[in-house]
C-alpha cells in the first residue's frame, strides 16, 4: 500500500518522460457525461473523420455523424473506450474536452497534448490526451479530463444511456467519492474509474503545463480521428 507521504513527495526523473514538458500553463477538471462528443459532428475540423460516436451500448459505432446526441434525446453517445488508462507509473493516455487560448475548436479537435501535472499528488506525472470535445464553461487553457465517474458537469446522458439512477454516478460536479463507489458503475467503465484513485491518486483538478504532440496511435485507434 502506498504511503501518502511517499506519494506527495515523489520526484520523477526527467529521463522517465517519453513526452516533452510543456511551457504553457493550464488547468484541469474532470467529467464523464456520456454525451456525443462535440468533435463527432461533421465538418467541425479538417480531420480524417469525426471522433467515433457510439450507440446506446457505448460499443457499436454509428456511421451517421448527424445523429442527435443522447443528451438531447438522440441516439449518439460517447464511446465507452474513450477513457483513461495507465501506460506506466509516470504516463497515462486519455481524452479530454478543451479550450485553448488563441485556438478554436476547428484547430484543437482531435489534436493531442502532453500534460505534465504541476500540483497535487500527481505532480510530475504526464498524461497525453486527445481532444474530442469542448465546453462553453471552460476557461482558456482548460482541459476537462474524461474520467468515468468524474461527474456529469452540465449535461447528463449517462442515466438514460445505461438506465442507472443519477446517484450511482456521484456528485454532478466531482463524481464518485471513493474507489469502492466505482463498483456501481456499468462494467465497461469500472477499471477507468479505478484509474482515478490508483494512478491519478484522486487528484482534484491539478494544474499542469502542456505542449502539443503527435497523437499516439493508441488514442487515434479509439477515436478514428486524425487532424490533418
Kindly list the catalytic residues.
Answer: 33, 144
Strand, coil or helix: 129: strand
Could you report how far apart the first and last alpha carbons of the chain are, in Å?
Answer: 45
Strand, coil or helix: 213: strand
Q: How many of the other CB atoms lie within 10 Å of CB of 183?
A: 11
Residue tagged 502542456 (cell numbers): 210
Could you give the C-alpha distances from 13 to 18, 45, 67, 90, in angstroms and in order? 11, 37, 46, 10
Q: For residue 87, what is its C-alpha cell?
A: 501506460
Residue tagged 474524461 (cell numbers): 146
Distance CA 126, CA 157 (A): 29
- CA geometry: angle 29, 151, 67, nearest 5 deg: 100
Q: Which residues pair with 54 in a beta bridge?
A: 61, 77
Distance CA 29, CA 173 (A): 9
Amino acid at each position: 500500500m502506498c504511503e501518502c507521504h511517499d506519494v506527495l513527495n515523489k520526484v520523477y526523473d526527467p529521463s522517465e518522460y517519453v513526452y516533452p514538458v510543456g511551457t504553457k500553463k493550464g488547468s484541469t477538471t474532470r467529467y464523464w457525461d456520456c454525451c456525443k462528443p462535440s468533435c463527432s459532428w461533421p465538418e467541425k475540423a479538417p480531420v480524417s473523420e469525426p471522433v467515433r460516436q457510439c450507440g446506446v451500448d457505448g460499443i457499436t459505432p454509428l456511421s451517421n455523424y448527424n445523429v442527435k446526441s443522447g443528451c438531447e434525446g438522440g441516439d449518439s453517445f460517447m464511446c465507452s473506450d474513450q477513457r483513461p488508462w495507465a501506460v506506466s507509473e509516470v504516463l497515462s493516455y486519455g481524452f479530454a474536452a478543451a479550450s485553448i487560448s488563441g485556438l478554436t475548436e476547428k484547430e484543437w479537435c482531435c489534436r493531442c497534448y502532453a500534460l505534465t501535472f504541476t500540483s497535487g499528488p500527481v505532480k510530475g506525472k504526464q498524461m497525453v490526451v486527445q481532444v474530442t470535445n469542448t465546453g462553453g464553461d471552460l476557461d482558456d487553457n482548460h482541459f476537462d479530463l474524461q474520467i468515468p465517474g468524474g461527474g456529469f458537469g452540465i449535461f447528463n446522458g449517462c442515466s438514460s444511456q445505461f438506465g442507472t439512477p443519477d446517484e450511482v454516478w456521484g456528485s454532478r460536479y466531482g463524481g464518485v467519492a471513493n474507489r469502492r463507489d466505482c463498483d456501481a458503475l456499468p462494467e465497461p467503465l469500472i477499471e477507468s474509474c479505478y484509474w482515478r484513485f490508483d494512478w491519478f491518486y484522486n487528484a482534484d483538478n491539478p494544474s499542469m503545463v502542456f505542449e502539443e504532440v503527435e497523437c499516439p496511435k493508441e488514442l487515434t485507434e479509439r477515436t478514428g480521428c486524425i487532424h490533418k
